[in-house]
Amino acid sequence: ENVKIGNIIPLSGPSATVGQQGKNAREMAIEEINAAGGIKSLGGAKLELVFADSESKPEKGVAEAERLINTEKVNVLTGCWNSAVTYPTTAVAERYGIPFVVPVSVSDKITDQGFKTVFRIAAKDSWWTRDQFSFLKDMQEEFGTKVEKIAFVYENGDWGKGFAGQWKELAEKGGYQVVLDEPYPSTATDLSPVVQKIKRSRADVLMLVSNAADAILLTNTLAEYKVNLKAIIASGGGHADPSFLKAAGKSAQYLFDIVEWETDVNKPGAKEANEKYNAKYGQNLTGEAVDAYVAMYVLKDALERAASLDPAKIREALAATNLSDGPGMIVGYDSIKFDATGQNENASLVMVQVNDTGKGLERITIWPKSARRAGYTPVFPMPEK
């Protein structure tokens, strides 16, 4: 008997690019797992993926969760990338007692609901923001440049609002002056008014939360208006989208982006996995894709230990996860382990900088210093325009 894994991701609609990546990564993982003999404790049972399209719409996610559980009879669920979709959808899984692995969806509240069945592999937004601020602090020390004024600009949604809330607290604690706090609609067709506000705020550092289309538009417009900033710190998502670098091109140079994983991570197997992925799908793995990829290995590990398809058993096994090596463990940190809320307590983040070291623009890991690509010196502050 096969193990059915239901996956709810945005395959059409505005986030279809990342949905597609997540699908690819999952497929690559289970191919490997099945080729290696499936779940041995279940007599070599194979993993089988069932995908459902959320279109990035919460109500569709909820409906699909109902269906995957009731009709497809999936044993576990994963998804949904958009926090706004993941949040209500996990509630459905909780009601039915079906384990739900969230590879990436960062809103804190997903694991703060007291649910028993939810396990998140990615870091949550309070950690992302915490690390963004630690990074900022470290950079100031390393390069001796002082940052005083910060501007917050973020998509007006669950994700952006979540980040902005945390930022405000952190900025206050860190003694920074917040000169701009600006949500914008992700559907904007012209972002120059927002860019003007950034420019006029005379901020030193700009912190962003953006989806893909707006990330590209913002980056280009910032370059057009020659907004002088010491740094732009983005929050993954749109800035980590595979089309971002291509579409933004030169304007994206020197941008900092926080991610879970980067191709240059120093981890056995990572390079091979990326090459394999690139050969298969013509793109590099991204942090978010890696989370999806690893999620499959986390599930495999839990299923081996559960040796049963009983959701309660799988849930228990997931809760006891401590995955530190083996194929597929290509994340930047040492092991995956869930705390009482289901949050992967080891999840860690890295900061990358977009720059051209002679091979065209690429994403280069620079922080924490221990993970920095050998021989690369980050550019901070950004050169004046």
Ligand X SMILES: CC(C)C[C@H](N)C(=O)O
Site string for another protein, 282-321 (x = CB under 8 A): ----------------------------------------
Which parts of 223-242 interact with another protein (CB under 8 A)? 223-226, 241-242
**In this chain, which of 31, 32, 48, 66 binds another protein, going by CB under 8 A?**
66
Instruction: Judge contact between 105 and 80, C-beta under 8 A.
Output: yes
Under the binding rule (CB under 6 A), the answer on residue 286 touching ligand X is: no
Residue number, 50 or 178, with CB nearest to another protein: 50
Count other C-beta atoms under 10 Å from residue 380's C-beta.
20
Under the binding rule (CB under 8 A), the answer on residue 53 touching another protein is: yes
**In this chain, which of 90, 105, 166, 201 binds ligand X, going by CB under 6 A?**
105
Under the binding rule (CB under 6 A), the answer on residue 159 touching ligand X is: yes
CA–CA gap between residue 109 and residue 103 (Å, rounded): 15
CA–CA gap between residue 204 and residue 199 (Å, rounded): 10
* DSSP states along 170-228: HHHHHT-EEEEEEEE-TT-S--HHHHHHHHHHT-SEEEEE--HHHHHHHHHHHHHTT--
Q: What is the largest CA-CA distance in the chain?
A: 65
Which range binds another protein by CB under 8 A, 56-64, 128-136, 260-268, 350-358?
Answer: 56-64
Q: Which does 378 bind (CB under 5 to 8 A by kind): another protein, ligand X, none?
A: none
Under the binding rule (CB under 8 A), the answer on residue 77 touching another protein is: no
Which range binds another protein by CB under 8 A, 33-41, 169-177, 212-220, 265-273?
Answer: 212-220
**In this chain, which of 24, 54, 78, 107 binds ligand X, going by CB under 6 A?**
107
∠ CA 102-134-341 to the nearest 5 degrees? 30
Q: Which does 42 bind (CB under 5 to 8 A by kind): ligand X, another protein, none?
A: none
CA–CA gap between residue 250 and residue 99 (Å, rounded): 43
* Beta carbon of residue 180, minimum distance to another protein (angstroms, whole number): 10
Alpha helices in the chain (DSSP H): 16-35, 58-70, 83-96, 125-143, 158-174, 192-201, 212-224, 242-248, 270-281, 287-306, 311-319
**In this chain, which of 131, 241, 264, 288 binds ligand X, going by CB under 6 A?**
288
Q: In this structure, which long-range contacts are made by residues 372-376, counting pairs with CB atoms below 8 Å and at least 24 apart in sequence?
A: 373/264
Which one-letter DSSP state was computed for residue 383? P
Q: Which does 184 bind (CB under 5 to 8 A by kind): another protein, ligand X, none?
A: another protein
* 70 CB-contact burial (10 Å; exposed 0-12 / middle 13-18 / buried 19+): exposed
**In this chain, which of 144, 190, 360, 374 binds another protein, going by CB under 8 A?**
190
**In this chain, which of 51, 81, 135, 163 binds ligand X, going by CB under 6 A?**
81
* Residue 38 CB contacts under 8 Å (≥ 6 apart), including other chains: 44, 45, 46, 47
Binding-site size for another protein (CB under 8 A) equals 68
Under the binding rule (CB under 8 A), the answer on residue 187 touching another protein is: yes
Which range binds ligand X by CB under 6 A, 4-12, 28-36, 76-84, 89-97?
Answer: 76-84
Q: In what order do the strands lie in the sheet with 100-102?
A: 47-53, 3-9, 76-79, 100-102, 118-120
Distance of CA 140 to the CA centre of its chain: 25
Nearest to 94 by CA among 341, 323, 306, 337: 341
| Interacting residue ranges for another protein, rule: CB under 8 A | 11-14, 16-17, 19-20, 50-53, 57-60, 62-64, 66-67, 69-71, 84, 87-88, 91, 94-95, 113, 156-158, 161-162, 182-185, 187-190, 192-194, 196-197, 200, 212-213, 216-217, 220, 223-226, 241-244, 246-249, 251
Q: Which residues bind to ligand X, rule: CB under 6 A?
A: 81-83, 104-107, 159, 236-237, 288
